[in-house]
Amino acid sequence: MSMFEKAFHNETLSDKTFLITGGAGFIGSNLVEYLLKYGAGKVRVLDNLLTSKMENMAPFLSHPNFEFMEGDIRDLDACRRACAGMHYVSHQAALGSVPRSLNHPLTTHDINATGFLHMLDSARYEKVRHFVYASSSSVYGDHPVLPKREDETGNLLSPYAVSKKTNELYAGVFISAYGMNITGLRYFNVFGPKQSPDGQYAAVIPLFMNAVLNNEPPFIDGDGNQTRDFTFVENAVQANVRAMLSGPADAKNHVHNIAVGERASVNELYNMIAELAGSTVKPVHRDSRAGDIRDSLADISRAKKAMGYEPGIFLKEGLKLTLDWFRENR
Ligand SMILES: NC(=O)c1ccc[n+]([C@@H]2O[C@H](COP(=O)([O-])OP(=O)(O)OC[C@H]3O[C@@H](n4cnc5c(N)ncnc54)[C@H](O)[C@@H]3O)[C@@H](O)[C@H]2O)c1
């Protein structure tokens, strides 16, 4: 499968150094692939491999501009060492999944809130040019209005959402108090190659892909009419690259929705995947999940205006690329 045929930047990357935390994970490893493909001077990954596998790093290990640092963002010294000499940071390391955070609120806080602060303060210490971090659509909580606009949020529904909101609050303060350049990316249900189908907290698209390819019925939580703005990973990579290379941040508007701006229900999603795979397997419905929001759809106009973000790959094409990858790599 070939991704990233079109570069999302005009500047040369060869004189720039990038730290990607969580770079062994799904979104991080796609970002690493892009940066190396387009000639980044140096790409360093900091990851403790908690929810990812070293095999995501295998294609890059022999690249002269790539460095893998195994380390934990809960360790301040590791964060300091990782930031040393880096012009740009994309902070992707976190413990994902709303249900996992409900089962493990303390670990979620340690990694997603304290670990985040370690990274942010290390980037400040090392005078990083732009610190970009992964926030989440979960910060919209129970706010009912669609599409979601960055300034209209509701009550948070999970420790995961609290941890991501905490990131945004600290980032706002580090911009205004220390003059740092920071951009937060509120991802909406990102999917694509290298997303893990393993474990009890796996996301819906890799689970559906595995199910159709194994000819096994997948589970759908609740009635399946819940909707999401499913976002192909290349769009998230584009947002990270554009954000890192963008100009000074604004403390009040530093967070951007990163999505496609279209929504599909989980039932529609499954039908599309089944059709692409030529599968007739019927899904099994089970109880809906605690902490989940019913509907989600992003207004992406702020990211478009602020950094020229423009989704390039939409749901159907993204599903096809992802299914091809699962077929080849499972
Ligand atoms: N995938 C999505 O739909 C989505 C949606 C909203 C937000 N996000 C956020 O995007 C980021 C990337 O998510 P992803 O889907 O690629 O998840 P992922 O689990 O594949 O990647 C996260 C990476 O962080 C690493 N990590 C976890 N704890 C760590 C620690 N203490 N120290 C160092 N590394 C650690 C993991 O080993 C993994 O490689 C996360 O911050 C996540 O919360 C993802």
Give 25-79 pLDDT, tens digit per residue: 999 999 999 999 999 999 999 999 999 999 999 999 999 999 999 999 999 999 9
Residue 282 lies in a domain: no
The domain of 166 spans 17-188+233-260+298-311
* SS percent in the chain: helix, strand, coil, step 5: 40, 15, 40
Q: What is the pLDDT of residues 127-142, one digit of tens each?
A: 999 999 999 999 999 9
Residue 69 lies in a domain: yes
The pTM (predicted TM-score) of the whole model is: 0.97
- Looking up residue 132, the CATH number of its domain turns out to be 3.40.50.720
Residue 84 lies in a domain: yes
> With contact defined as beta carbons under 8 Å apart, do 137 and 148 qualify?
yes
Tally of domains within the chain: 1
Ligand 1 atom with the shortest distance to the CA of 111: 31
Residue 219 lies in a domain: no
Pocket lining: 94 vs ligand 1, CB cutoff 6 Å: yes
Residue 42 lies in a domain: yes
Confidence of residue 1 (pLDDT cuts 50, 70, 90): very low
Separation of alpha carbons 78 and 118, rounded Å: 9
Selected catalytic residue, list 34, 133, 140, 160: 160
Residue 149 lies in a domain: yes
Could you confirm whether 160 is annotated as catalytic? yes
Residue 182 lies in a domain: yes
> With contact defined as beta carbons under 8 Å apart, do 44 and 22 qualify?
no
Question: CA distances (Å), 1 to each of 40, 48, 212, 330, in order?
Answer: 22, 27, 19, 14
Residue 254 lies in a domain: yes
Q: What is the DSSP string of 3-20?
A: ---S-S-SS-STT-EEEE
Residue nearest to atom 28 of ligand 1 (CA): 94
Pocket lining: 96 vs ligand 1, CB cutoff 6 Å: yes
